[in-house]
Amino acid sequence: MAIRVVSARGASVGIAVGRDRDRDPEALVASSPDVSPDVSPDVSPGASEASIPSESATETEPPAAAEPKKQTLVIHAAGDTSLDPVWIPTLRSQGWDYAWSGLKGIFEDDDLSIVNLECPVATLGTGSKVDKQFNFMCDPRGLPAMRRAGVEVASLANNHAYDYGSEALLASVENVAGARITPIGAGEDADAAEEPAIFNIKGWKIAVVPWDFVVDPWPTAVAGPGHPGTAFGHDFDAVVKAVKRVDRQVDLTVVQTHWGVELETRPNVAQVPLGHRLIEAGADMIFGGHSHRMQPLEIYRGKPIFWSLGNFVWPAQSVESATSGVAEVTVKANGRIKAKLLPAYISAPGHPELR
């Protein structure tokens, strides 16, 4: 598996690391919520300023680079987002910036923003339409407005990324990256789809790990050896191993996942132990989606689990579907984590507004 390292709001480079696909021998244990005070991981102080060698020195070791001083970090995440002008006609009539104009610049002012991009992003005619109830095709021309709004990460780890097959899925990865947004959760094979993105921001090294539990069509849309698709599918043990592996290399591990049951307002009984086990494996926060309904925020072992962030840039089909929110996680310099849901409402199709 390769890990993308992305500098703060910058370009990415690849670092190769090993990937073990053997199944995790640990049994999945359904534990009850264990709410604890905020957790403060160890933070090493920065190195002192190196002295400048004299001109007479002939052989000197280069001074060690000081570890960047950690600063307060703000991360936002939002739910299901579509740039399909057929599904959301207001994007065609009002313009692409309309989708983001009710957010008061919240994504521009933070340090990292993540959305679930619930569609392939390609030109019409790319790929073949998959036989299913709903097929979306987002327009690449909408991506620059999303980037201007401050979104840095778009997850394609969802049940609509494969709506027009592998050709459109791979075009989506290229189009999202071309708009200077980091795509996660889909790729040409399992290694590419499961690849976490790594960001270096304000002295913090942050990993964003994608996971698509809800796969459509099953099992075709799951990435495999030599087969394009989305990340992990039902191989939960592989997700846990990925979280454990990357958590040893970074300061903060974020899991962005598509799971649960549509229209449900609470996580189901099978979901809860999965979320808890991801926290136990090293995840510092989990952003969930798929239900098209807002679900509660839980604090488990001092770490937030946003079970579902509902709809975001989406049609306003009912009060329940239009009720939305933005996850906000603040990480203090000492590692203290605070989390809350900022209420929002889809006041017009494709137009969420902070309330």
Domain ranges within the chain, ordered by starting residue: 69-354
- Is 114 strand, coil or helix? strand
Q: Which of 344, 313, 323 is nearest to 263 (CA)?
A: 323
The C-alpha atoms of residue 219 and residue 221 are separated, in whole angstroms, by 6
The C-alpha atoms of residue 21 and residue 321 are separated, in whole angstroms, by 38
Phi-psi sector, 226: left (phi>0), alpha (psi -120 to 50), beta? left
The C-alpha atoms of residue 164 and residue 49 are separated, in whole angstroms, by 55
The C-alpha atoms of residue 245 and residue 224 are separated, in whole angstroms, by 20
Query: What was the pLDDT predicted at 14?
Result: 37
Sign of CA dihedral 221, 222, 227, 230: positive
The C-alpha atoms of residue 243 and residue 3 are separated, in whole angstroms, by 12
How do the pLDDT tens digits run along the chain, 355 residues long? 555 566 444 434 333 333 443 333 333 233 333 333 333 333 333 333 333 333 444 456 666 677 789 999 999 999 999 999 999 999 999 999 999 999 999 999 999 999 999 999 999 899 999 999 999 999 999 999 999 999 999 999 999 999 999 999 999 999 999 999 999 999 999 999 999 999 999 999 999 999 999 999 999 999 999 999 999 999 999 999 999 999 999 999 999 999 999 999 999 999 999 999 999 999 999 999 999 999 999 999 999 999 999 999 999 999 999 999 999 999 999 999 999 999 999 999 999 999 9
Torsion angles phi and psi, residue 7, rounded to 5: -70, 165
The C-alpha atoms of residue 260 and residue 240 are separated, in whole angstroms, by 17
Q: Provide the whole-model pTM.
A: 0.84
Structure tokens at 271: 């979901």
The C-alpha atoms of residue 219 and residue 29 are separated, in whole angstroms, by 26
Give the CATH number of domain 69-354; options: 3.40.640.10, 1.20.120.1730, 3.40.50.300, 3.60.21.10. 3.60.21.10
Cβ neighbours around 296 below 10 Å, total: 12
Between helix 271-281 and helix 236-247 the angle, nearest 10°, is 20
